[in-house]
Chain A
Amino acid sequence: MKTLLFTAVLAIIALSSCNKGETLSGAGATFPAPFYNVVFKDFSNASGIRVSYGGIGSGGGIRSLQDKTVDFGATDVFLSEKEQAEMGAEVLHIPTAIGGIVLSYNLPGVEGLRLTNELISDIYRGVITNWNEPKLQEINPGISLPDRKITPVFRSDGSGTTAVFTEYLTKVNSDWANNIGEGKSINFPAGIAAKGNPGVAGIIVGTEGAIGYIGSEFALALNMATAMLQNSSGNFVAANVESISLSANIDIPADTRVVITNSSDPNAYPISTFTWILVYREQAYNNRSEVRAQNLKGLLQHVISPAGQEIAAKTFYAPLPAVAVERTRALINSMTFEGKTVN
């Protein structure tokens, strides 16, 4: 009995001390998690530095960074001035990839459905309730839409996906702006709700007549039917890696805190967002070593490198356009340790 206990204690000590190698940890949005899991592993294989990422939601990630329990946070919605002030020190927003938000639907036999922002707003406000509504049919002259009730599906949990989706509708549709507004969790007047992209996707796949907004990486990976949306130039654009990447083809400010929905590029998909990693500019806090800061910088450089961006495309996120990569590189190079640039 005693020897058994002794071996157990030894085993626990051995297990908990075997990961003595260098590590980095981060937490935040679930949206980029599939990309981060792959690209961080790629980085670990090359450098030997273990990186762990917890997809706990951007709110939790920001809180963890603020509590200094992680090396970086991650979010799909950039910090407001007020939130930045609450962080205690200057925080850098490092864009890592672009994601779109697509409207996926379940109508057997219907392909290439077209939607305008007005139609999306009407469907989610419960104004249009049937697929054979003349307004819908008018935009889709080549398709015969069935007489079936529309079931809009939305997120039951607070989500950056909801925030970007409603930000877009608030910006382009006055009915939406006046009645619903924008935010991470919204009380939609019509439809049903489910948790996370998988929950929403599950309901769409299982319910004829359903339509829901989900992250493009999820819909594209599963090959779900997605609607073509009308962008700011009036073109109907299908959601794919290229059209989503084009939405960042705009003037990007030096701090990269910019909304890229309703992009002015004529071929861009209209509902897209950067996804950011958040780090403190001054890396010397909480007794962190300079090596740790260097490792973090190495990780960020790897994520925006051509190899890292290729992984983004492989995991169905849109890679950053050249201008954005340039801005991001400058931001990463502005990281300091005790006032001196991290090398």
Chain B
Amino acid sequence: MKDKIFKTILLLASCLIILLTAGIVYGLVSKSIGAFSEFGFFGFINSSEWDAQKDLYGALPFITGTVLTSTLALIFCIPFSLSVALFNGEYFRNKKISTIVSAVVDLLAGIPSIVYGLWGFYTLRPIMINMGVNDQGFGVLLASIILAIMIIPYASSLSAEFIGMVPNDLKEAAYSLGATQLEVVTAVNLPVARSGIFASYVLAFGRALGETMAVTMLIGNTINIPAGLSDTGNTMASIIANQFGESSGLKLSSLMAIGLLLFLITAIINFVAKYIMKMMNK
């Protein structure tokens, strides 16, 4: 009897999650239909015009901004997160120093986004100005660097786990053939763990796509397609955060449409990643 009750509770909880997700998708779709029917789906994502006076809205500057900052963040974070992952997963596995390093890296994941924003605003931005990136420091580069720091823990801790899971037999076989530790890492650890490492970077990329607060504080919030790393821009998440308060009608619908697009992009990326991992593991 108790078993049955427990089962029912589990079933109900799971169904509730599915219903919630469906509800969110339904809400986004129904509210964004207005924008898509006005501008057309491809018209909306291809137009760089965002003009409240003319009531014309297009998502291209925000899509570009989001993809650009997230991709840059991913590139910036690879050298650090891969080093940390190898440090914790192979070279110093189960040593005291690695517990400390991984605890500190995990701590990075626990810092609220607004704190990263503040640090970027007051500490990193003056450095950008002094380096002569641009006159006020804000822009794609600043936002990407902060994003990179934010996603390092997501990329590194999961990668470390996969690197650590590489069977000892394989490594010992390589050592017995006279391979150095570096050779073992490049020839055994990384190839065996590659799909896991790939998955962790996808997870990190997904985090970067949706990050809002820190990016809004640092990217400059100008509605244009960034012309370069030192240019200011805007992202999908930050335009929603900035403008939902005073919006109604077509503008609100356009913001909803951007929300739906962000949802779709993240979903597609996760799906593609899972698919590639499946193919790699075959």
Contact = CB atoms under 8 A, between A and B. Distances in A.
A binds B: yes
Nearest to B252: A59
Nearest to A183: B53
Given A56-B245, A156-B242, A206-B122, A184 B221 contact: no
Interface stretch (B79-87, B132-140, B146-154): B132-140
Contacts of B52: 158, 183-186
A194 interface: yes
Interface residues of A, number: 32
A193 B220 contact: yes
A210 B136 CA distance: 8
A191 interface: yes
Contacts of A187: 50-51, 53, 223
A156 to B, nearest CB: 4
A207 B136 contact: yes
Contacts of A146: none
A263 to B, nearest CB: 25
B113 interface: no
Interface string A165-186: 0000000000000000111111
Interface string A195-212: 100010011001101100
Contact of A157 (B129, B222, B245): B245
A59 B216 contact: no
B246 A58 contact: yes
A169 to B, nearest CB: 14
A203 B51 contact: no
A193 B235 CA distance: 13
Given A157-B242, A181-B53, A206-B121, A151 B247 contact: no
B232 interface: yes
B30 interface: no
Given A151-B135, A183-B53, A209-B135, A192 B221 contact: yes
Interface string B40-82: 0000000000111100000000000000000000000000000
5 contacts: A156-B242, A157-B246, A187-B223, A192-B222, A193-B242
Interface of B: 50-53, 121-122, 125-126, 129, 135-138, 216-217, 220-223, 232, 238, 241-243, 245-248
